[in-house]
Amino acid sequence: MNVSITPKLEAFVAEEVESGLYESASEVVRAGLRRLKEDKARKPSFVVSSMAELEAKLLEGIEQLDRGEGIPAEKVFAELEARSAKRRGHG
């Protein structure tokens, strides 16, 4: 497989190799691809790509609430606050 990258990206790859963190340009690219794959795997389930998908997710959520499968608001807000504090370095 051959790929083309911009001169700026090529310079970045070279800097990473020169830093000693990576032995070759291939290692840098593989690390970048692994990170991309991890990021895609962490994509929140609430992200939607169309209005139809949004409507379907909303209806699914309403049905879950009707079945009593909701999460208490206090718990949701506590979890959000904990995540936010962790990101700010306070947790």
Predicted local distance difference test score (pLDDT) of residue 46: 67
Kindly tell me if the per-residue pLDDT of 63 is higher than 90: yes
In percent, the amount of the chain with pLDDT more than 90 equals 64
More confident residue, 11 or 70: 11
**Cα(21)–Cα(77) distance, rounded to whole angstroms?**
40
**Cα(25)–Cα(44) distance, rounded to whole angstroms?**
31
Angle at 41 between CA 38 and CA 46, to 5 degrees: 140
* Phi, psi dihedral angles at 49 (to 5 degrees): -110, -5
Global confidence as pTM: 0.49
**Cα(79)–Cα(59) distance, rounded to whole angstroms?**
24
Count other Cβ atoms within 10 Å, centred on residue 13. 19
